[in-house]
Amino acid sequence: MVAGAGTDLRALSRRVRRHVVEMVNGAQSGHIGGSLSATDILAVLYGRIMRHDPQRPDWPERDRFIMSKGHCTPVQYAILAENGYLPVEELATFRKKGTRLQGHSVLGKPAGVENSAGALGMGLSFGLGIRLGMRLNQTDAHVYVLMGDGEQDEGQVWEAAMAAAHHEVDHFVAIIDRNGIQNDDFTAAQMRTEPLDEKYRAFGWEVRAGIDGHDHEAIEEALAWARDVRGKPALVIFDTVKGKGVSFMENNPGFHGAAPNAEQFALAMQELAD
Amino acid sequence: MTTTLPSAATREALGPTLVRMQQEGADIVVVDADLGKSTSARTFRDVFPERFFSFGVAEQNMISAAGGLATTGHTVVASTFAVFAEHAFDQLRMSVAQPRLNVKIVASHGGVSTGEDGASAQSVEDYALFSSLVNFTVCVPADVVEAQAMVEAAIATPGPWYIRTGRPKIPVIYTDGPRFEVGKANMLRDGSDVTIVACGLLVGRSLDAAEVLERAGISVRVLNMGTIRPLDVAALEAAARDTGAIVVAEEHLTHSGLGAMCAQAIAASTQPVPMEFVGVNDRYGESGTWDEVLEIMGLTAEGVEQAVRRVVARKR
Ligand SMILES: Cc1ncc(C[n+]2csc(CCOP(=O)(O)OP(=O)(O)O)c2C)c(N)n1
Ligand SMILES: [Mg+2]
């Protein structure tokens, strides 16, 4: 079952982007840029690709989404809310006292969050472990792991890449949100990691790169391909724009982890209006 | 006397115990980082190869993957050396401790009794690190019999555990079978003048010291504090009340180990008493045979005996 089948992805993505901006504005903290760059990918995953059921978040046969770049909780909580895992109104509690919706992902808070994250570099390993366990259980569900491009600097990512190929793990899909920016600056300035596609291929992965991470059809096509790769792990590298959807945030390293001021917030909501 | 007792290394308990428990219906998966022969985890692979995953020499990936594996219902055992488990501290924190997943780290070559390999291979800080992680149960066996009982308890109890085993063959203490109960100290001998609280291979050495002291007219209680976390505070308070002085003996840095944890508990109790500490004093190890290194560090029956005499002299 795909919970979001039939959803209008354009409208959904727009709503999710508005939630993201409202949440970060409401908390006056949080990671807006990498949430907006990943919005369309998550919309397609939850709406078209993943087998999941918000009524049964513990269903052993569910596909798992692992948010490895655990600072991008705004988009994760928003997509979960739009899919019925939590009330949309609860998004307003993001990062506030007493909330379930912490700044970085905490397993089980809310149901649908499958891992604890925030320290970059661990999600691919955690997802790999899940898939190995599922394989032992003869469960044919898939594991999707979303990573950042800056996150590729972490050595553990490459340990996991090596091990996934060594163990011939399939039903295992890594996704890189290649928005070209990390915390302080452009990724090209912080640490050159390219060519990522050739590196993963050399590690034994099937790879598709250069996919437009804001084109819903292209995203769906690439993820459907990755889901069906057998005998190997699969990676899709999406070219995205950090801050996508809000003109002054787009491709702006200043909006990695900064909240908008009142004027910026009003402008952003105007740009994201239907 | 000790020479007549059978000897075994605590690390020998792991593999055979896991094999037996799996045969008896447990759902164990073992992950390994290229040290399974030394930790004895590889014994499990020989019988259950499909349940054994090699992660190569990559402890960080292994620990995060262990957390993920545990979410699919399996009881996951991760094995390596104590110093190399330390290599994955953040992964232990984020992928195991905080989400409270069912992962058991059973690390061998704990302490300085690793010997010849020298400072880099001697974990003087491992259970300080594991004890600093919320949700972890932390155990150090005094002999192979207790090590087996601890592995059994870990498999039977959901949640993160750390068990530190050792490399050298040491005398068996529990010749009549294990008395291990998580969170409970074992009183191995009673006395009225002082209590020695020990774990690991210092338990045997403390019993030897107690015998010498008894002959010198000092009556000694010996507690095996096999569980470091949660600490048996009630047994410590009873020791303070009944004997009025405590020595803590361990193969670990005293300032961050069992000594520090016992001191915290005693300081907060209604009856603080003088304490002395036998352990590694703010230094790293060096090469030598395992018992030579223990001697260099003062981790001997004589070292414990001297600490007892010091603490008894401080009693009013
Ligand atoms: C281990 C670790 N080191 C540092 C950080 C601080 N940090 C948070 S986000 C970030 C940059 C991430 O960049 P990228 O992976 O490209 O994410 P995105 O652009 O998608 O937001 C850094 C360094 C962290 N979260 N984890
Ligand atoms: Mg980035």
* A163 with B61: Cβ contact below 8 A: yes
Mean of pLDDT values over B170-198: 97
Tell me which of B12, B24, B50, B59 is the catalytic residue. B59
Q: What is the pTM of this model?
A: 0.96
Work out the number of other CB atoms within 10 angstroms of the CB of residue A183.
15
Q: B187, B185, B198: which is closest to B249 by C-alpha?
A: B198
Query: Ligand 1 centre and the CA of A12: distance in Å?
Result: 26
A74 lines ligand 1 (CB under 6 A): no
- Can you spell out the DSSP letters for B28-78? EEEEESS-HHHHSTHHHHHH-GGGEEE--S-HHHHHHHHHHHHTTTPEEEE
Mean of pLDDT values over B188-214: 98
- For residue B86, pLDDT over 80 is answered with yes
The pairing of beta strand B227-229 with beta strand B246-253: unpaired
Please work out, in degrees rounded to the nearest 5, the angle formed at the alpha carbon of residue A202 by the alpha carbons of A172 and A188.
90
- Supply the pLDDT for residue B174: 97
Residues in chain B: 316
Cα of A79 to nearest chain B Cα, Å: 22
Give the position, in ligand 1's atom list, of the atom nearest the Cα of A181: 19
Give the position, in ligand 1's atom list, of the atom nearest the Cα of A118: 25
Helix (H) or strand (E) holding A209: strand A206-212
B-chain CB neighbours of A118 within 8 Å are 94
- For residue B107, pLDDT over 90 is answered with yes
Residues in chain A: 274
- Supply the pLDDT for residue B1: 44
Which amino acid, residue B87? H
Interface of A with B (CB under 8 A): 60, 66, 106-108, 114-119, 121-123, 125-134, 136-137, 139, 155-156, 159-160, 162-163, 166-167
Work out the number of other CB atoms within 10 angstroms of the CB of residue A224.
12
- For residue A4, pLDDT over 80 is answered with no
Mean pLDDT estimate for chain A:
97
Choose among B58, B90, B94: nearest Cβ to A159: B58
A236 has which bridge partners? A175, A208
For the stretch A37-46, pLDDT in tens is 999 999 999 9
B316 pLDDT band (50/70/90 cuts)?
confident
Taking domain A9-271, whether its CATH number is 1.20.1560.10 is answered by no
- For residue A1, pLDDT over 60 is answered with no
B184 conformational bin, left if phi > 0, alpha if psi -120 to 50, beta if neither: beta
B-chain CB neighbours of A121 within 8 Å are 60
A116 lines ligand 1 (CB under 6 A): no
Q: Which of A35, A124, A151 should be mutated for ligand 1, with most atoms under 8 A from CB? A: A151
For the stretch A91-126, pLDDT in tens is 999 999 999 999 999 999 999 999 999 999 999 999
Counting ligands in written order, the one closest to the CA of A37 is: 1
Pair A124, A147: CB distance under 8 Å: yes
For the stretch B9-48, pLDDT in tens is 999 999 999 999 999 999 999 999 999 999 999 999 999 9
Q: Give the span between the Cα atoms of A41 and A25, in whole angstroms.
A: 23
List of residues 6+ apart from A125 with CB closer than 8 A:
A156, A159, A160, A163, B60, B61, B62, B63, B64, B65, B68, B91, B95
Q: Tell me the CB-side half-sphere exposure of residue B199, using CA atoms within 13 A.
A: 34
Query: Ligand 1 centre and the CA of A95: distance in Å?
Result: 18
Q: A164, A234, A142: which is closest to B64 by C-alpha?
A: A164
**C-alpha distance from residue B268 to each of A263, B80, B184, B236, B265 (Å):** 54, 36, 19, 11, 5
* Beta strand extents in A32-187 (DSSP E only): 64-67, 143-148, 172-178
Dig out the tokens for B219 from the structure.
């009556």
Dig out the tokens for B278 from the structure.
């036998």
For the stretch B282-308, pLDDT in tens is 999 999 999 999 999 999 999 999 999
Instruction: Clarify whether B146 is annotated catalytic.
Output: no
Mean of pLDDT values over A250-269: 97
Q: What is the ipTM of this complex?
A: 0.95
In chain B, the domains with their CATH numbers are 7-171 (3.40.50.970), 186-311 (3.40.50.920)
